[in-house]
């Protein structure tokens, strides 16, 4: 028996951080042993990487996020799963496939090779919304870095996340695409039901 690993990816402004925070609160209230985390992680390398996505690009950023991912797996994700926790991760492998390969132009075989030894999530939620909705949210919230600074990236990311779905499914990752245009409560309620069902299936009373 082990825990359950759910990753959340999608374009900037899709609602990943908001949703993971609300899921952590609500699922904890329901008694699930939730660990919410993020990539780049809170480690020194993760903080460095997050602070410098404007300075490091392409191959170098691909290596930084992959190194942070392996450290994150070793120090946080795998121990939590071994302790039968529910791990919710704000951004994971799909973000590398979209941002490093799709946006920065790193050959996708190289990004996949860098990530050969990562654990795959039990479920990868891909959050998305129409471009005008995302742009309005980003304008209101403010950009969180280079990838969100260029307005053209929003539409590109939406398409790229669609394009990585077959690849994720092909390597055995279950994916769930959620349009977050409706109210956040709609998104969160739906995800609570989905995650509770997966958890109960894995941990029958
Ligand atoms: N259905 C929804 N799900 C999540 N966030 C939503 C939703 N509708 C509106 N929002 C808003 O959109 C913004 C999304 O921001 P954030 O969670 O930081 O996105 P991301 O982490 O994907 O960049 C927040 O201001 C949030 O309140
Ligand atoms: C996980 C991951 C993140 N990143 C980048 C994208 C973002 O610029 C940054 C993470 O920032 P972001 O998710 O926007 O964080 P927050 O909204 O909490 O500030 O890291 C990659 O380039 N590749 C990856 O695989």
Range of the domain at 53: 4-202
In which band, very low, low, confident or very high, does the pLDDT at 140 lie, cut at 50, 70 and 90? very high
Q: Whose CA is nearest to atom 3 of ligand 1?
A: 184
> How far is residue 54 from each of residues 14, 47, 72, 110, measured CA to CA in Å?
21, 13, 22, 21
Q: Whose CA is nearest to atom 22 of ligand 2?
A: 99
Render pLDDT for 86-101 as a digit per residue (tens, 0 to 9).
999 999 999 999 999 9
User: Which residues make Cβ contacts (< 8 Å) with residue 28, sequence separation at least 6?
Assistant: 34
Tally of structural domains, the chain: 1
CATH number of the domain bearing residue 88: 3.40.50.300
**Which ligand 2 atom lies nearest to the CA of residue 104?**
22
The answer to whether the CB of 72 is under 6 A from ligand 2 is: no
What's the 35 CA to ligand 2 centre distance in angstroms? 19
Tokens of residue 157, six digits: 């990311």
Per the CB < 8 A criterion, the answer to whether 66 and 117 are in contact is no
Instruction: Round to whole Å and give the CA distance between 113 and 101.
Output: 12
Render pLDDT for 12-54 as a digit per residue (tens, 0 to 9).
999 999 999 999 999 999 999 999 999 999 999 999 999 999 9
User: Which residues make Cβ contacts (< 8 Å) with residue 156, sequence separation at least 6?
Assistant: 102, 103
Q: Whose CA is nearest to atom 1 of ligand 1?
A: 184
* Verdict on whether the full-model pTM lies above 0.95: yes
DSSP H or E run through 138: helix 131-141
């Amino acid at each position: 028996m082990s825990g359950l690993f759910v990753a959340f990816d999608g374009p900037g402004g899709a609602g990943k951080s908001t949703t993971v925070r609300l899921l952590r609160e609500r699922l904890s209230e329901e008694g699930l042993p939730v660990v919410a985390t993020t990539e780049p992680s809170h480690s020194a390398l993760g903080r460095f990487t997050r602070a410098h996505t404007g300075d490091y690009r392409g191959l170098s950023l691909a290596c930084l996020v992959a190194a942070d991912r392996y450290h994150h797996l070793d120090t946080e994700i795998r121990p939590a799963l071994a302790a039968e926790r529910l791990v919710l991760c704000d951004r994971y492998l799909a973000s590398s496939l979209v941002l490093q390969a799709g946006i920065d132009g790193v050959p996708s075989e190289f990004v996949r090779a860098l990530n050969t030894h990562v654990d795959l999530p039990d479920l990868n939620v891909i959050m998305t919304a129409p471009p005008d909705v995302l742009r309005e949210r980003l304008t209101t919230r403010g950009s969180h870095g280079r990838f969100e600074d260029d307005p053209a990236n929003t539409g590109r990311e939406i398409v790229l996340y669609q394009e990585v779905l077959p690849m994720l499914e092909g390597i055995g990752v279950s994916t769930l695409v959620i349009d977050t245009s409706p109210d956040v409560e709609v998104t969160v309620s739906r995800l609570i039901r989905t995650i509770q069902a997966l958890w109960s299936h894995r941990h029958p009373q």
